[in-house]
Amino acid sequence: MAPHKYITLQPTGDKIPLVGFGTARIPAAETEEVIYNAIKTGNRLIDGALLYGNEPEVGKAVRKAIADGIVKREELFIVGKLWNNYHEKQHVKPIFQKTLDNYGLDYIDLYLVHFPMATEYVDPNENLGFLNPKKEFKIVKAPLQDTWRELEDLVDAGKVRNIGISNFNVQSTLDLLSYARIPPSVLEIELHPYLQQKRLVKWAQSQGIQVIAYASFGNAVFTKFPPGTEHLENLMKHPVIVSIAEKHKRDVGQVLLAWAVQQNVIVIPKTVKVERMKSNLDIDHVKLDDEDLQKIAKLEANARFNDFFESTYGFDFPLFA
């Protein structure tokens, strides 16, 4: 069942589906089949990134779906992300071209700055990550203003429709807005009932920046947990979420997605199972009431699972402090 709801992006007026599909942590060997099935099931928003190591396979699936007549290119909304090692202005356009070549498309719909930090250049044919080949975490002096100018050039050239940011807070976004000729259309952040980020979401939306949530299922999608979060119950099994799901005769995943979508937040759940793809899309009829929302509000734990601690990423960096 295809999503019926879209949000309009500024400044282009492009429409982005409220429910899409994420490509993180899908093994490259499985990606083409998974993404093809996702599109066949009705997904029109595909959220990808160079870091995920499966862009070429995402591209094959997209092109196959178009060639098979399942979808037209203009009906799809394809996302890519600029990795940390390529913020220096001389690297932005070449690495974007790599993403475009990987996808095998003429343009992409949205290109995001993956994290608000610039790290030392690494050959893109190496294994990408947060550390350089010497296993060091090294920040470089690459002002985001210079990076952003390069992204604006890509928009001017017609290679990118919209540009945006990911994992930014209000301070870093506010600084960007002070010089951006083309403002960010989207902010993608970790968002789930254990990390609700209500003030950030409200402020971003007030600035005309739409929000995409990643990790909508919270700690259920992670294998390593930052200090202080290990005790939290698997969000997909939490009694509050389970009881709300039973009340609405829906599954817990649908409740978690509907919770975000009711805030006009875009969701990009990932699954390899076609039945789950269908149920994740089929959330139009899940209407959480005030009682449900109040119960979920109480689950706030300020628990960020995608944080940079030695125990989770092999280095310590307080990006979100």
Residues paired with residue 111 on neighbouring β-strands, in sequence order: 80, 163
86 is catalytic: no
Given the structure tokens 């997209």, which residue do they identify?
Answer: 62
Residue tagged active-site, from 36, 52, 86, 111 = 52
Nearest Cα neighbor of 3 from 283, 290, 320 is: 283
Tell me which DSSP letter residue 175 carries.
H
User: How far is 20 from 39, CA to CA, in rounded Å?
Assistant: 10
Structure tokens at 237: 């099994």
On whether the CB atoms of residues 5 and 284 are closer than 8 A, the answer is yes
What amino acid is encoded at 187 in this protein? L
On whether the CB atoms of residues 58 and 26 are closer than 8 A, the answer is no
Q: Which helix (H) or strand (E) holds 81?
A: strand 77-82
- Residue 114 labeled ligand binder: yes
Q: Which helix (H) or strand (E) holds 253?
A: helix 252-261
User: How far is 55 from 77, CA to CA, in rounded Å?
Assistant: 15
For residues 279-300, one letter each, b for 16 or more C-beta atoms within 10 angstroms of the residue's C-beta and e for the rest, the string is bbbbbeebebeeebeebbeebe
User: How far is 152 from 254, CA to CA, in rounded Å?
Assistant: 36
Supply the residues annotated as catalytic. 52
Residues at the binding site are 114
Residues at the binding site for substrate are 114
